[in-house]
Structure 1
Amino acid sequence: MNKSSFPESPDINRRKFIGNSIRSAGALTMLGLSSYTSAERASVNRSYTVQDIMNLILNEGNLSPLKETVDTLKFGNPDQVVTGIITTMFPTVPIIEEAARLKANFIIAHEPSFYNHNDHADWVKNNSVLKEKHALLAKHKIAIWRFHDYCHSLKPDAISYGVAKKANWLSYYKTGQVTLTIPTISFSDLTSHLQKKLKISHLRTIGNPDQSCQKIALLPGAWGGQRQVGTAETERPDVLIVGESPEWETVEYIRDARAFGRKISLIVLGHAVSEEPGMEWFTEWFQPKLPEIKITHIASKDPFTWV
């Protein structure tokens, strides 16, 4: 495999992405494309590179390039012409294989591709699985861009909005707020509602099934124990709903809080399944802005088998 088949370092990718974004934004303005409709843009240029797509997302979302971000091109060539786009949470091997089957050569993933936050290739030396994944991507000429920081920077935040929509809670959702006040419901019925609406087969919970719940804190993904506990303290919700949590932090806080008589419960949805509705909604948001290219959302699903 030649050197160009492997992804560049995140720092190089970040500098290139910011530079290209600024230059492309200027070019769009000069051509008058920034104010064109999607159909009008298509009449000017019907092909898009990976870099064009990234720039278009920032432009359509009114987002400025971030100097410090994990949202870099993790694999592939920014100048590659895009034949199709896949959105997902994690770019797993089955997702890559399905992308190849669909002849989609650009994956937009919310979370890391190579098992650590910054996708450092040397996180574990001589990682055989990482090498196989590189080879699979190179074989099918598939590029991967992480869309995390920008995704959460959209107005509204694509992830929380998508989850609220999927849970049928948009009437109670307010941009920029993590708490929602929903009609009173028992803790047992709330867990059943989330399982049904988010299509999650198993949840982990701490709480009294008969507890009356109305104020909830919705924290999909991995906010970290400090922010989860901080939210519980400042917002005083009836229920804390999280994607994942270190068991020795938020989980133990909830257990002790309940032991002291506080009426607070915890629902752990699972990381991938808790944020997947957000990437699904992002796809709905972006497709009309890019009608020339098919955008398909594929759920990466819960990685665990429950026994």
Structure 2
Amino acid sequence: MKITVQDLIHHLTAHVELRENTVDQLISGSMEQLVTGVIVTFMPSQHVIEQAIHQGANLIIAHEPPFYNHHSHTEWLTEDPVYQTKRSLIEKAGIAIYRCHDSIHQIQPDGITEGLIQALGWSSYVVQRKPEADIISFDDHMTVQRIAEHIKRTLGVEYVRIAGSLEMTCKRAAVLVGFRGNGNLTIPLLHNETLDLIIAGEGFEWETPEYIRDAVQQGKQKALIMMGHAESEAAGMKLLAARLDQAFPRLPVHFVGEQPVYKVL
């Protein structure tokens, strides 16, 4: 059976109502294009595009955009050589790129958060699912250090950033993926949900980290683990790849990851 880009997009959006200003869109290629294979990824980097070409896949489903801004605007990049080279590679290879951002966050439970929770092996610890976070209840022996080491080991990441005491015991935590680590989300959660720990992707450094610093100075038992944006969301796209593989068994579907963008010296 022939499968088009439109067929895949319809499957991804069938159970959600995208808002008018959604960033989910077909960035390259056409809806009528017949799909030879699918690469699912967090970020459609140069490496990922090269891997798609190598594997004979002509559709990339990515959580983030290929051209360095949230709304996929490219007018400001037209003379940039990095943009030109990447755009040319995509066009010459005939690759369609679909951004799957809002829809995967809108499904219940949030597809990106669910992927991270499953990857960490914490499904049985979830006591509440909120739109922006999963609330986790740990046993009596989970310290900040043990949790951080578990995150690094299970996700294969080299480092996380921590505010607060490594020895602090954590009974309740919130897990927030991507750019949900800002104070307007985390601070009410800490108070309203009686949390010890925030585990987030990233956020403004002058908000949640500074709140944690002041809380610790006041003698309150609070801590923060920042994982990194990609590190918190890639597992969700990997879960999506597995689900698409089941939904389209005759279509080659593969997840392609990337190396961490930063090196720590």
Q: TM-score range by the shorter chain?
A: over 0.9
Aligned residue for 2:170, secondary structure, equals strand
TM alignment of 1:177-256, pairs within 5 A: 178-184=134-140, 185-225=142-182, 226-256=184-214
Please state how far the C-alpha of 1:259 moved relative to its aligned partner. 1.2
Amino acid at match of 2:145: S
TM-score by length of 1: 0.81
Give the whole-Å Cα distance in 2 for the aligned partners of 1:175 and 1:249.
24
Instruction: Determine the structure 2 residue equivalent to 1:36.
Output: none
Counterpart-to-counterpart distance in 2, 1:102 and 1:281: 20
Return the structure number with greater helix share: 1
State the Cα distance separating 1:227 from its structure 2 match.
Answer: 2.0
Partner residue in 2 for 1:295: 253
AA matched with 1:205: I
Distance (whole Å) between structure 2 residues aligned to residue 116 and residue 236 of structure 1 = 36
- 1:60-103 superposed Cα distances (whole Å, 9 cap, x missing partner): xx223443310011112221111000111100000000000000
| CA distance in structure 2 between the aligned counterparts of 1:246 and 1:63, rounded to whole angstroms | 29
Seen in structure 2, the aligned counterparts of structure 1 residues 293 and 221 have a Cα distance that, compared at 3 Å, is same
Query: Secondary structure in 2 aligned to 1:183?
Result: coil
Opposite residue 52 of structure 2, the aligned amino acid is A
Aligned identity (percent) is 33
Instruction: Determine if contact 1:162/1:281 at 8 Å carries over to the other structure.
Output: yes
Amino acid aligned to 1:204: R
Q: For residue 64 of structure 2, what is the aligned residue in structure 1?
A: 111
Asked if structure 2 preserves the Cα contact closer than 8 Å seen for 1:270 and 1:302, the reply is: no
TM-fit CA distance, 1:246: 1.6
Q: Which residue of 1 aligns with 2:121?
A: 168
Q: Which residue of 2 aligns with 1:48?
A: 3
Q: Is the 8 A contact 1:239 1:266 kept in 2?
A: yes
SS of corresponding position for 1:212: coil
Larger Rg: 1
Is 1:95 matched up with 2:48? yes
Q: 1: distance between equivalents of 2:181 and 2:164?
A: 20
* Partners of 2:60 and 2:97 within 8 A in 1: yes
CA distance in 2, matches of 1:221, 1:192: 20
Scaled by the length of structure 2, what TM-score is found?
0.93
CA-CA distance at 1:300 after TM superposition: 2.4
Post-superposition Cα deviations, 1:226-258, rounded to whole Å, max 9, x if no partner, equal 223333333231111111122122211211121
2:13 to 58, 79, 94: 58
CA contact 2:18–2:102 (8 Å) conserved in 1: no
1:152 paired residue number: 105
> Mean alpha-carbon deviation: is it higher for 248-257 or for 134-143?
248-257
**What code does the residue aligned with 1:213 have?**
C
- Cα separation, partners in 2 of 1:224 and 1:167, compared to 1, 3 Å: closer
Shift of 1:124: 4.8
Query: Aligned match of 1:135 in 88, 96, 100?
Result: 88
Return structure 1 stretches of 4+ with deviation > 3 angstroms: 174-177
Q: Distance in 1 between matches of 2:214 and 2:199?
A: 17
Contact 2:77/2:83, CA 8 A, preserved across alignment: no
Amino acid at match of 1:189: R
SS in 2 for 1:248: coil
